[in-house]
Amino acid sequence: MEPRKILLLFGLFTAFLNVIGQEPPDRKQIIIVDPGHGGIDSGAVGINGLKEKDLTLKIAQAIVHYNKVLLNQQYDIYLTRYGDTLISLGHRTKLAKILNPKIFVSLHCNHADNPRASGLEVYVFNGAIRKQNETMGKIMDSYLQKQLGYRSRGVKRANFQVLRDNREVCPALLLELGFLSNKDEAMHLEREEKINALGLAILMGIKTIME
């Protein structure tokens, strides 16, 4: 074969390898939302009987809903559970290792012996984390304060498994969305319109982070 043809074929082959090695330009960003607890693990139980497992799932469903109706499916959002089922922490983070998302957001509600304890907490991994994680946590914390009037208890570090196991996979946040042991916050969180507002605010907080 002529040297010129060999070089041409080599160039085409190299270009082909470069193309298949890249993500399609219109591929949606993947986000994993993790509704905490589920099944026999109810999580915290509010003074009004509200179960953390039910609340986190409703908030996650609101996030998916608003991604569809307001953002026209801008993101590919996967939940770690879609019903009242118990999913191990290991399987939740294994999903992230398979999908390689842009961010992993775990949803929870707080509980304390002090009935006056209140406010929002955002957690990132307490090890040698990338600065990106802490920056994302501060953005989410600030956004929820601004949009919902939450009192912030700050961005904190913890060794929660969903944060630890994702440290080499993707940025991960764990959100504690109010205290079910606080009468005012528990009553606030049982109202459907407040749950929807919280889901929308979290989605738009994620959008702010992704921009």
pLDDT score at 132: 80
pLDDT score at 129: 58
Q: 10 Å Cβ neighbour count for 90? A: 10
The domain segmentation of the chain, as residue ranges, is 27-210
| pLDDT tens column, 146-161 | 988 888 999 999 999 9
pLDDT score at 11: 44
Q: b/e for 196-205, b at 16 or more Cβ within 10 A?
A: bebbbbbbbb
Q: b/e for 101-139, b at 16 or more Cβ within 10 A?
A: bbbbbbbbbbbeeeeeebbbbbbbbeeebeeebbebbbb
pLDDT score at 127: 73
Superfamily of domain 27-210: Zn-dependent exopeptidases (3.40.630.40)
Quick check: 202 and 71 in contact, CB under 8 A?
no
What gap in Å lies between CA 27 and CA 161, rounded to an integer?
A: 29
Sites in the chain below the pLDDT cut of 70: 1-26, 128-130
pTM value is 0.86
